[in-house]
Amino acid sequence: MTMTDLKQTIRQKAEHYFDYMVQVRRHLHKNPEVSFKEYDTTEYILHELKKMGIDTETPLETGCIGVIDGGKPGTAIALRADIDALAMDEEGEAKKKFMSERPGAAHCCGHDAHTANLLGTAKILKELEPEIPGKVVLVFQPAEEKLPGGGRMVRESGVLQKHGVEEIYGLHMNPAYAPGQIAVKPGPFMACTVEFEIEVIGKGGHAATPHLTVDPIVLSSQIITQFQSIISRSLDPTEPAIITVGKIEAGSAFNVISAKAEMIGTVRAFSMETARFIKSRMEAILKSVTEGAGGSYKFEFNEGYPAVVNNEQCNQKLEQAAIRVLGEENVINLKKPLMAGEDFSFYQEEFPGAFFFLGSGSDEADSKWSWHHPRYNIDERAFLTGSALMAGLVLDR
C-alpha cells in the first residue's frame, strides 16, 4: 500500500469508528473513577481490547496495556492515554445526556476522551496489522492526576522495557485549539510540578490585645508577598518559574487571633534544579519571617512530575506524520511551553518521546472551558484527528 493510499485509508477508518469513540467517551464520562480507583474503567478497556483480538496485560492494580505485533521488523512504539477522573463535580448543559452519575468524580480534564481516542486508534491499527512495521504497545495509564503518578508506576513496572519500547507518544485535549488542529513543540513542552504545604505557627489570643500574640495571618501575608520576590529577584529573568499559593486557611471568629495558619500551593519550573533552588529561598523566607516575630513554621515540599521535554527526533516524526495525515495548515508550532504539568514526563526520562495537544474547543460543543473547570467539555470531532494521527505515527515509517 502506498503512503497516499495508507493516508486515505487511515482517515476513512477514523471516520468509520467515530461513532464508536463517541459511545466509549460518553460511557466513561458517565462512569468516572478517580486516581488509583479505576477498576470499572480498566475492566471496560480490557473487554474492548479483547473483543478486538488484542493481547492485554495488567502490570498494575488498575490500568492495562494492549499489544499489536505486525510481525515485521520495525520500531516498538508506545501510545499512551490516561484513564482517571478528577475528584470534583461537574456542570454544563452540553453534557446533560452523559453527565457523571458518580458524585465527587468527573472527567473534567479529557481523560475519558484520551481513552476513547486510543481505543479507536487500536481498532484502526488492528485492521491494518499487516502494515505495521514492528510493534505497538497501547498504554492505558491510571492516576495521572495524583502523585506519585501512574506514568512513573507503569515505567517502573518494566512492562514497556519487556516489549522493547523504543519511542512513546501521548496527547492531551486542548480547548485553545479547534477540532482538526494539533499543537506541537520540540524541547520543553510542560513544566515540572511541586506541591507544598506550610503551617505558620504563632500565638493565639484576643483581637483587642495583639501585642500579647504572634499573629500567623499577618506573618502569612508577609511570607506570600516575599515568595513572589523569589521569581522576580532571585531567579534569572529568562528562567520561567511560578510560585502560587492556592489556599490559605486561618482563624475562627472576627475577634480572635488564631494560633496558626495553613497554606498549600505549587511551584512550576522547567528543571527540578530550579525548583529545589526555589525551595531553599522559600525556607529562608519562612525562617526569617516567623522567627523574627517569635513564631515558627512547618514546611513540606513534595516533588511531583518532571518537565515534559519532547525529543527533537520524535517531535519531528510527529510533525511529519501530522502534516501527511492532517495537512500542514492544521499543525500549529507552539512558541512557548506551558506551565501545566503532566506525568507523561516519567516515560520521557527513559524513552525518547513526544507529547502534543489535540484541538477540542468549539462554541458549538460549549468546549472552550479550561481544564479542571466544572463545565469542561470536548468537541468530539477531535477523535477524527486524534485517532488518525496516532495510527499515522505508527504506520508512517
| Catalytic residue positions, numbered | 84, 144
Residues in Cβ contact with 208 at an 8 Å cutoff, skipping those fewer than 6 apart: 255
Q: Kindly write down the DSSP assignment for every residue of 313-360, as one continuous string.
A: HHHHHHHHHHHHHH-GGGEEE-SS-BS---TTHHHHTTS-EEEEEEE-
- Residue in 84, 79, 81 with CA at minimum distance from that of residue 68: 79
- Residue in 264, 126, 251 with CA at minimum distance from that of residue 195: 264
Task: Tell me the three cell numbers of residue 396.
Answer: 508512517
How many whole angstroms from its chain centre is CA 72?
A: 33
Placement of cell 488518525 in the chain = 388
Cβ 334 vs Cβ 182: under 8 Å = no
- C-alpha radius of gyration, the chain, whole number: 24
Residue 67 DSSP class:
E
Q: How far is CA 9 from CA 13, 153, 230, 323, 329, in A?
A: 6, 36, 54, 16, 20
Cβ 230 vs Cβ 278: under 8 Å = yes
- Type of residue at 108: C
